Structure 1
């Protein structure tokens, strides 16, 4: 089927998202494992991704867990060290698609505040034709509502959307809605898929 637009997730597709790695470097693996076992930081981050205030959400979590308060505040104060670096081959794919005239969209779980921090650091985030950012929309993957909102807004039939994401649950919902999908397990596979679809040349 013809592809009318390519839809990128951002975390772990265009920008590495490995908070545990940064915490390991700062407080050591054993202490990080204890922290993450006691405090569900990823659920805290999900609240941010769904529109919660970045600073207030993190600081409230720190207040609820005084034994870990300093470590929890790192999620806010060192956020750019949690999110990065960019994945250069994926950025090149994004730009190659644009150069080829293929519409490119972002569909990402990302907070309002965290996205505002990321944009100056990663200029390619401004290069999408359309951006569907969960924090601004008040909904997040893998809820069907955010996929439906993209479909309604973009005007591209679901069967003509090619979506890549690193999470199988997010991919499963898109596939159930009739989207074409690619589970992102590394940029090489994604580039190969885009070339196989005729969207990128071998040189690109």
Structure 2
């Protein structure tokens, strides 16, 4: 039986779209049964609806100062859809322990760095400022510590001479679209509610272009 997935977004939802595309394959072990946004104007809601996927909006603004209340409303929508696994895909809200604990071991996130390096925001600028030669992205399980859960998959991209944020971000995003569906496939094929086996921890480094070491 395919696992029921809810995807949380805040914007255009490009990673959500990659998950939807992967889930179109009959053999994929998960199906996206709900795409939920905290922003009514999120472009990803339109994308999901056009693909025939149920959508919901739980606007955070009426809940100002009541993050727990906002997350309780989100949980109601996820429960209504029978969601088993939650995928964060550009969801730009810090989660409280309420939602994290409710889906402990069943909530995935994609982060634009090779964790544990550069948790948090502005990862591309920080990687460039640090002078590292490899940057990339990580899919991990969500815990109460931000960007610190068990790693499910990673992909590395080289930082090129004279690189800047925009092209680096584009190369990293392209790899996010590869490893997020892969990580979800491996996770959903495992035991329900359990952390993945060690063989689900992957690294997919891309070779540097000639002359880059």
Pairwise TM-score range, normalised by the shorter structure: 0.3 to 0.5
Higher RCO structure, 1 or 2 (CA under 8 Å, sep 6+): 1
TM score, norm. by length of structure 2 = 0.41
TM-score norm. by structure 1 comes to 0.42
**Structure in which a larger fraction of residues adopt strand:** 2
